[in-house]
Amino acid sequence: MKKIFSESKGFVIFSPQLLAKYLQEHNLPGNNILKYFVENEHGDEITKSGIAIPIIGVEEDHYAFRVSVNDEKILNDDEVEVESRGWVFQTVNNEVKIVGIGYLKDITSINDENSITLSLDNGWYALKIRGGNKNGERVFELHMEKQDMHPAFSGDVTTEYYYG
């Protein structure tokens, strides 16, 4: 299972095409898109729209990511050490991309070595983020529940994901 490092103590889960479209539609130039997440309302809008979800407050280490859909489970309940509900995700290119959040300072530095791309059918999802240890590995499970339309957002962007 491929693992990536928690650059700047976090990750971002995103839909590359939708993020590029948002940046273009809102005339947000440059390669440092992290500033849009922290300096103005665009970060909240991007998150609530299901385009990019931050995972912050993560111990510096390498982590694996897996997607589970509907009734699937990657982590057993006794393996889950942190969980956050209420997130929204949308994809239009049959994938979920994950990268250390520090790479958003220069999006041209994102490549196949420092990111993970997972397969996911197009559409809207209610997302539950679960973190824990499985077989001695640190794993984030992105549990996606397929939705017919944009689900209500209630994610807590201040959630920290430190765990043993």
Which CATH number characterizes residue 9's domain?
2.60.34.30
Rounded to 5 degrees, φ, ψ at 18 are -70, -35
**Alpha-carbon distance values, 130 to 70, 95, 105, 160 (Å):** 14, 19, 26, 12
**Alpha-carbon distance values, 156 to 53, 107, 115, 128, 131 (Å):** 10, 25, 24, 11, 15
What is the pLDDT, as a whole number, of residue 14?
97
Look up the pTM and report it.
0.95
Residue 129 lies in a domain: yes
What is the pLDDT, as a whole number, of residue 163?
79
* Mean pLDDT on 80-87: 97
Residue 92 lies in a domain: yes
Dmax over Cα atoms in the chain, in whole Å? Answer: 46
**Alpha-carbon distance values, 16 to 51, 89, 159 (Å):** 8, 12, 23
Q: Which residue do the tokens 């385009």 mark?
A: 51
Residue 164 lies in a domain: no
Residue 96 lies in a domain: yes
CA atoms within 13 A on the CB side of 37: 22
Residue 157 lies in a domain: no
Structural domain tally of the chain? 1
Residue 152 lies in a domain: no
Percent of the chain past pLDDT 90, that is, above it, reads: 90
> Residue 44's domain spans which residues?
3-147
Residue 162 lies in a domain: no
pLDDT digits (tens, 9 = 90+) for 106-150: 999 999 999 999 999 999 999 999 999 999 999 999 999 999 999
Residue 156 lies in a domain: no
